Structure 1
Amino acid sequence: MSTFRWLPALVFVTASLAHADGVSDLKRFLSSTTGVQGQFSQTVSGKPGTPVQISSGTFAIQRPGKFRWSYLKPYEQLIVGDGKRVWLYDPDLRQATSKQLSAALESSPAALLAGDNALDKTYTLRNLANRDGLSWVEAVPKSKESTFDSIRLGLKSAQVVAMELQDHFGQTTRVSFSGLTQNPKQSASLFQFTPPKDVDVVEE
């Protein structure tokens, strides 16, 4: 697997029940958050009739630029950002793919999660109407190189509890988060990766 499958992973924010200004809450929370960790469940759906892909796992973020996404089910896969490079490791394929962190952040939702607080430079943000008991924020990437058309964050009770991503291929990725911990103590080894022996390494 030579391309990065970006995971949404998590963002906390503050939201009121009615007339919420999710954009301001998102910026305010990110400015006071250095790290976060928890679990995620994810579904990917395409055109009608195509199979729905379901997966789950754990994640950790240390801002800026460090993150770890671990798919546990149905197959293991690991994505690690060490502050300089991003690694994607697929144990089944025995392959590790690496690319520069700056390029990875500019073209993926990871910029919202692990990047700096200058969201307006990368995304056009706007509040959406409340739906399903959540307040929603839409982030549209400004870069034409982004792999996503739009990213939507569902906010409730001081947490992001849902994320929806629409890509250029007509696929919709929906993620829900649980067990979130803000600013936890995290080991530096979480955000380090060394390719195992006998693994093909691809650099992009």
Structure 2
Amino acid sequence: MKKYIAASMIMFLSCFILFSAVSVPAAEKVAEKAKSQVDDILSKIEARYGGPGFSAVFTQKSYLAAMQMTEEATGSAIFKKPGKMKWTYETPEKQLIVTDGVTLWIYRPEDSQVMTGKPESYLADGKGGSLLSDVKMIRKKFDVTYTGKNANGDHELKLMPKELTGALTKAGLVISAQSFDILKIVYENEYQDKTELNFKDLKFGLNPSDAEFDFKIPEGVHKLKLGSQEKD
């Protein structure tokens, strides 16, 4: 009996060692293939967004976990490298979010209010769709994992921040398998809030004027600093 048990154990260990010897290289090959696939997709995204600027129509859904409430908005956006963006919200109310890469303005005409500050305070690490102003930020700021294709056959990527410098805890992208347009960005934060941005009617090859991103504050509006309730 002891000889049988010993022989069985030797056979088991032999199979285990053989399996391990085979599975480790196999696992490495799978990991290398996945990394190569992510690199290929990111390279094609970077090529697609390689021009000086582009525009898009967007819809936005924001889920506020603490209030268990979902808000929806629509509008259009225009981008120019490096770091210039203008988001024009049409519904549910008019709003403008503009940055020239140095200053950020958030203008709410219905409230006769404009908030100003540094872009980093609102758009750091890809938040607020800012990664669209420089898609190379995806590689620099996130660990990227390919999670497969959705029902439409488009690529899905999971983005985990390399450094947790703010409330953003993870993000996701949906990429067109044909054009490599970014069709959707999803953000989640530490409070379990979730923002989803969907894009359509993308137009590339644009080179908008810098003046497009230089917001002139209208006379008579209330001016606030971002992160403060004190007026200028």
Residue range with higher mean Cα deviation, 34-43 or 132-141: 132-141
Unaligned runs of 5+ in 2: 1-33, 227-232
1:38-117 correspondence runs (5 A): 38-47=56-65, 50-109=68-127, 110-115=129-134, 117=136
The question of whether the paired residues in 1 share the 8 Å contact of 2:115 and 2:225 is answered with yes
Q: What residue is the counterpart of 1:181 in the other structure? A: 203
1:28-39 correspondence runs (5 A): 28-30=44-46, 32-39=50-57
Query: In the TM superposition, what whole-angstrom CA distance separates every residue of 1:39-89 from its partner, at most 9, and x where no partner exists?
Result: 001112244983321110000000111000111011111110112111111
Within 2, Cα distance between the matches of 1:202 and 1:108?
24
Equivalent of 2:183 in 161, 170, 173: 161
Within 2, Cα distance between the matches of 1:195 and 1:90?
11
The question of whether the paired residues in 2 share the 8 Å contact of 1:108 and 1:146 is answered with no
Tell me whether 1:150 sits opposite 2:170 in the alignment.
Answer: yes
Higher helix share: 2
Query: In the TM superposition, what whole-angstrom CA distance separates every residue of 1:82-108 from its partner, at most 9, and x where no partner exists?
Result: 121111111122221122234544344
Write the letter of the residue equivalent to 2:41.
D
Q: What residue is the counterpart of 1:4 in the other structure? A: none
Tell me the percent identity. Answer: 19
Higher strand share: 1
C-alpha RMSD of matched pairs (Å):
2.5
Residue range with higher mean Cα deviation, 164-173 or 74-83: 164-173
Q: Which protein is bigger by CA-based radius of gyration?
A: 2
Q: What residue is the counterpart of 2:225 in the other structure? A: 203
Write the letter of the residue equivalent to 1:58.
S
Give the paired residue count: 186
Tell me whether 1:124 sits opposite 2:143 in the alignment.
Answer: yes
Write the letter of the residue equivalent to 2:150.
R
Within 1, Cα distance between the matches of 2:66 and 2:99?
34
Unaligned runs of 5+ in 1: 1-18
Taking a change above 3 Å as real, the CA distance of residues 127 and 33 of structure 1, as seen in their structure-2 partners, is: farther
Structure number with the bigger relative contact order (C-alpha 8 A, sep ≥ 6) is 1
Query: In the TM superposition, what whole-angstrom CA distance separates every residue of 1:162-192 from its partner, at most 9, and x where no partner exists?
Result: 2221122212222211110112132333211
Q: What residue is the counterpart of 1:21 in the other structure? A: 37
Query: In the TM superposition, what whole-angstrom CA distance separates every residue of 1:120-153 from its partner, at most 9, and x where no partner exists?
Result: 3322222222222221112222343333211111
Within 2, Cα distance between the matches of 1:118 and 1:26?
11
SS of 1:71's equivalent in the other structure is strand
